[in-house]
Amino acid sequence: MPLFVPIVRTKMHGISLVGPKGSDSEAVTLGRLKEFHSAGRGFWSSVSDQDWDSWQWQLKNRITTLAQLQRLMPTLTPEELAGTQLANRKLALAITPYFFNLIDPTDEHCPIRRQVIPRIEETTTASWELTDPCGEDSHSPVPGLVHRYPDRVLFLVTDRCAAYCRYCTRSRLVSNASGYDFHPEFDRQIAYIQEHTEVRDVLLSGGDPLLFSDEKLEYLLSRLRAIPHVEFLRIGTRIPIFLPQRITPELCAMLKQFHPLFISVHANHPRELTIETRQALGRLADSGIPLGNQSVLLKHVNDDPVVMKALVQKLLMCRVKPYYVYQCDLIAGSAHLRASVRKGIEIMSALRGHTTGYGVPQFVIDAPGGGGKVPVNPEYVLSHNADRVVIRNFEGKVFEYIEAGGAKPRFKPSEDFVAPELF
Ligand code: SF4
């Protein structure tokens, strides 16, 4: 079976794949996108199984320089070449061999490639773009801890990731490529949580917490679990996508001591859900860990209803609930990757009612400057007064619901009622 789904280009942009909505070609494309494949060995066919399956080997052999990348992928575009020349001086670069195998080197619009290979456009910043788009630093009472919502905190434990995403909200700090001074002090972070009895939910993130050794992670989780008012622990990680080898039985056995513990993973395109990743997610789910997925809406990656539908359906097959789709933050140098909010709403309309409700994530904008997540939905309520609500369903049909205690209906929408264009 081919790993790469044949792509039919449209005028809109390079990766839109489908024919008319509901057409046979849409169904065929959806089916192909939902197939599970192994990432395979690619250039690393001579490596032993033991090494390939070792997460330490994968980390040690990451692609981090222009020379390595050019050797493996002589098809770099001029934009990628210029971007990669800045690797690890100005722009973070690391790709695990496993994840590299998901790139189609013959396709300059490959949705995997766009997520991890630097481009020179990243050095162009608009005046409305920010190095700290969610205002985390201004909501940080101690280094590495963000307290923005009333009852929960974000506990940043590391600035390292298995691979680096081109659109990272924390690109200011990850990998230390841009010289940000990131030095979390666990004792101070934990002391803050101990003192703030309103904090009932702690989200470990970074960087990627699952890059820690089992022992270090167990130490941190134990200290948090010992705080009586901490009811709920969460880990945000992209490791099952970049480095599924890290999800060992030993790690899962350690994590399951700390329930209730939820994990949010981060997949953007159905091709990221390989056989290896499905197995890794299965090991986490078998350990009783509820799994959610957070995607970022990205231009030429997943700004297509069929791609997103394939992603959410495949996530459910991996026992992962699609949780959020984020509008890409106004990150410095991310204009070439940002899809429009209008496109995000169109995608949500194509999901709601058209696929399993469990598969429909919440589309949110993280309000610039630190306003928190704001849900953005297609409009289903057409009007609402004391007596009645006029709503439309996923097919555009209009219905009237009489409010509790409302008066007898005085009218119904006429047969030819046309819903206004709402966005
Ligand atoms: S894995 Fe997460 S923290 Fe790391 S670079 Fe990607 S988006 Fe940023």
pLDDT tens for 309-354 read: 999 999 999 999 999 999 999 999 999 999 999 999 999 999 999 9
By residue count, the chain amounts to 423
Residue 391 has pLDDT above 50, yes or no: yes
> Would you state the torsion angle of the CA atoms of residues 19, 26, 294, 242, taken in this order, to the nearest 10 degrees?
-100
Query: Is the beta carbon of 95 within 6 A of some atom in ligand 1?
Result: no
240-277 b/e with 16+ CB inside 10 Å = b? Answer: bbbbbbbbeeebbebbeebeebbbbbbbbbbbbbbebb
Q: Which two tokens mark 317?
A: 């097959």
Query: Is the beta carbon of 208 within 6 A of some atom in ligand 1?
Result: yes
- Residue by residue, DSSP assigns 153-170 as EEEE--S--SS--TT-TT
Q: For 196-209, what is the mean pLDDT?
A: 96
Residue 14 has pLDDT above 70, yes or no: no
The 3-state DSSP composition of the chain as helix, strand, coil percent (nearest 5) reads 35, 15, 50
Residue 106 has pLDDT above 60, yes or no: yes
What per-residue confidence (pLDDT) applies to 340? Answer: 97
**Residue ID of nearest Cα to ligand 1 atom 1:** 238
Mutate to test the pocket of ligand 1, among 208, 294, 297, 301 (most ligand atoms within 8 A of CB): 208
Residues 6+ apart with CB under 8 A from 271: 3, 4, 5, 33, 102, 111, 112
d(CA 9, CA 15): 6
Who wins on pLDDT, 26 or 46?
A: 46
How confident is residue 409, by pLDDT bands cut at 50, 70 and 90?
Answer: low
Residue 249 has pLDDT above 70, yes or no: yes
Q: Which two tokens mark 147?
A: 């307290």
- Centroid of ligand 1 to alpha carbon of 59 (angstroms): 15
pTM over 0.85: yes
Edge-to-edge order in the sheet of strand 145-149: 145-149, 152-156, 201-205, 232-236, 261-265, 291-297, 321-327, 362-367, 372-375
d(CA 326, CA 241): 18
Among 212, 354, 361, 343, smallest CA distance to 294 is for: 361
Query: Is the beta carbon of 238 within 6 A of some atom in ligand 1?
Result: yes
Please state the three-class secondary structure of 78-106 as a single string.
HHHHHHHCCECCCECCCECHHHHCCCCCC
- For residue range 75-87, list pLDDT tens digits in order: 999 999 999 999 8
Please, are residues 187 and 201 in contact by the beta-carbon 8 Å criterion?
Answer: no
Please state, as a whole number, how many other Cβ atoms lie within 10 Å of the Cβ of residue 201: 16
Angstrom distances, CA of residue 49 to CA of 53, 141, 249, 282, 331: 6, 46, 17, 21, 39
How confident is residue 95, by pLDDT bands cut at 50, 70 and 90?
Answer: very high
Residue 414 has pLDDT above 60, yes or no: no
Mutate to test the pocket of ligand 1, among 99, 164, 182 (most ligand atoms within 8 A of CB): 164
What per-residue confidence (pLDDT) applies to 254? Answer: 98
- Ramachandran assignment for 339, one of left (phi > 0), alpha (psi -120 to 50 degrees), beta (any other): beta
Please, are residues 205 and 175 in contact by the beta-carbon 8 Å criterion?
Answer: no
Query: Is the beta carbon of 174 within 6 A of some atom in ligand 1?
Result: yes
Q: Write down the mean pLDDT value for the chain.
A: 90
Query: Is the beta carbon of 297 within 6 A of some atom in ligand 1?
Result: no
What per-residue confidence (pLDDT) applies to 418? Answer: 56
Region of poorest pLDDT, from 52-61, 249-258, 384-393 = 384-393
> Phi and psi of 323, rounded to 5°?
-105, -65
d(CA 292, CA 313): 13
- Centroid of ligand 1 to alpha carbon of 144 (angstroms): 15
Q: How many Å is the maximal CA-CA distance in the chain?
A: 76
Among 95, 113, 115, 91, smallest CA distance to 104 is for: 113
Residue showing tokens 């590391």: 158
d(CA 66, CA 74): 11
- Ramachandran assignment for 40, one of left (phi > 0), alpha (psi -120 to 50 degrees), beta (any other): left
How confident is residue 136, by pLDDT bands cut at 50, 70 and 90?
Answer: confident
d(CA 392, CA 399): 6
Residue type, 187: D
What per-residue confidence (pLDDT) applies to 10? Answer: 36
Please, are residues 237 and 251 in contact by the beta-carbon 8 Å criterion?
Answer: no
Q: Which residues are catalytic?
A: 148-149, 152, 161, 165, 168, 170, 329, 366, 373
Q: 89, exposed or middle or buried, with CB in 10 Å at 0-12, 13-18, 19+?
A: exposed
What per-residue confidence (pLDDT) applies to 6? Answer: 39
Q: Which two tokens mark 322?
A: 């699609």
Q: 235, exposed or middle or buried, with CB in 10 Å at 0-12, 13-18, 19+?
A: buried
Peptide bond into 207 cis (omega under 30): yes
